[in-house]
Structure 1
Amino acid sequence: MVNNRANKQQAAKGQTANKKAGSGQVRIIAGQWRSRKLPIHDLDGLRPTTDRVRETLFNWLANDIAHARVLDCFGGSGALALESLSRYASYAKIIELQRTAAMQLKANLNTLKCDKAEVINADTLVVLQNGCDQGFDVVFIDPPFRKGLAEKTIQLLDSKGWLNDGALIYVEIEAELTQMAIPASWQPLKDKTTGQVSYRLYQYQAEENPANTEE
């Protein structure tokens, strides 16, 4: 009887530990996977974009997300990339440094039977430094706060050929970060602040080649 009681206590502790290890969920708001809830891990620096902010963002992107090539620079929970794919984005590249989060992203894509996404478990700045063969139409920059990553990411996207002409770029940063260098080719479209979070939408306009400019 003592052994049975000890075993039950140990099992209960194990269940509690499991809940703590991966206690979160991300909910897809709209599209083909509307209201689906997917598991996420409770990891340091993982800060899923809230439903309220995502609703605002995807209202901004309502006419541009279908058939778009999407780049999620800091995948985290995958909330932004998954929402885009649910709303019929044609492809999503998701970069995530933490291996556990990257593996969970792959598992969630498998659960959704989605073959239109690629998860890269790597340092975002290293990946962006290497450039790409084909640009993107919608880009999400939602890095861990207070690490100076947003501005470095912006500069690499602009200089390494990641953006198609007319690309829309979403930036989510800490509200107190009021000064940030933005390329002249990025035109501000929208911005809001909710609590401690500031979020903005820009549009990239490629510079005209002077040789092709009509007099």
Structure 2
Amino acid sequence: MKHSKHQNQIRIIGGSCRGRKLHFNDADGLRPTPDSVRERLFNWLGQNLTGQAVLDLFAGSGALGLEAASRNAASVVLVENNRRTLQTIEGNIRDLGLKQVETVCSDGLLYLKHCGETFDTVFLDPPFSWQQWPDLFALLQGRLNIGAMVYIEAGSLPPFPDWLAPYREGKAGMSKFALLEYS
């Protein structure tokens, strides 16, 4: 699907890389989070993520994770299963000079099953048709630090487990999104 509105690029909206462009490929299910939604999300999270460990589990364009890196996250892991998409993200990381960003070519659920790290902020924006939320939540809980924030964007939001407390919710176009807190 062509994104004629974006010419396959979007911009970082805040932090040290503010205004810099990210390029992305056409790929099935790839729909970068719009500027207005990212702006709202980072207002909710606080503009500065200094010291945080961030996971962008379905990286796609990488916009959410790279936005966090631009806002001083200590470490950012971008997980993407499409190798070509990941190569484009890696090019963007080099262009932006974001040394704290690591990329992993993997399925999101496999990554969670095998990673040993825990995170302060997690972005979950899978393709709209993706439906494995119960499996994801079962694996995610052990990867979260107390007080971690979890952002979910989907065509329709899944039922949230009781250990994730809704913090804020919104809607833009066909997307619904929520920021949840791990307690």
TM above 0.5, one fold? yes
**Alpha-carbon distance in 2 for matches of 1:146, 1:46:** 11
d(CA) in 2 for partners of 1:47, 1:129? 26
Q: 1:103 aligns with which of 83, 87, 99?
A: 87
How far apart, in 2, do the equivalents of 1:151 and 1:170 lie?
Answer: 16
The equivalent position to 1:61 in structure 2, one of 26, 45, 68, is 45
Would the aligned equivalents of 2:54 and 2:76 in 1 still touch at CA under 8 Å? yes
Q: How do residues 1-215 of structure 1 correspond to structure 2 at under 5 angstroms?
A: 23-62=7-46, 65-132=49-116, 134-158=117-141, 161-174=142-155, 177=156, 180-205=158-183
* 2:120/2:149 contact within 8 Å kept: yes
Report deviation, 1:55.
Answer: 0.7
Q: TM-score, structure 1 length as denominator?
A: 0.78
How far did residue 66 of structure 1 move? 2.3
Aligned partners of 1:99 and 1:121 also within 8 Å: yes
| Code of the aligned partner of 2:58 | F
Deviation at 1:43, TM superposition (A): 1.3
Identity %: 39
Q: 1:184, CA displacement in angstroms?
A: 1.5
How far is 1:131 from its partner?
4.0
SS at match of 1:85: helix
Please report the RMSD computed on the Cα atoms of aligned residues, expressed in angstroms: 1.6
CA–CA distance in 2 between the matches of 1:114 and 1:63? 17
Q: Which has the higher contact order (CA 8 A, sep 6+)?
A: 2
Unaligned 5+ segments in structure 2 are none
Alpha-carbon deviation of 1:152?
3.0
**Structure index of larger Rg:** 1
Report the Cα offset of residue 154 of structure 1: 2.4
What are the superposed Cα offsets for residues 13-68 of structure 1, whole Å, 9 maximum, x if unpaired? xxxxxxx9xx5112000110110012111111111000011111000011662221
Give distance in 2, aligned partners of 1:103 and 1:151: 30
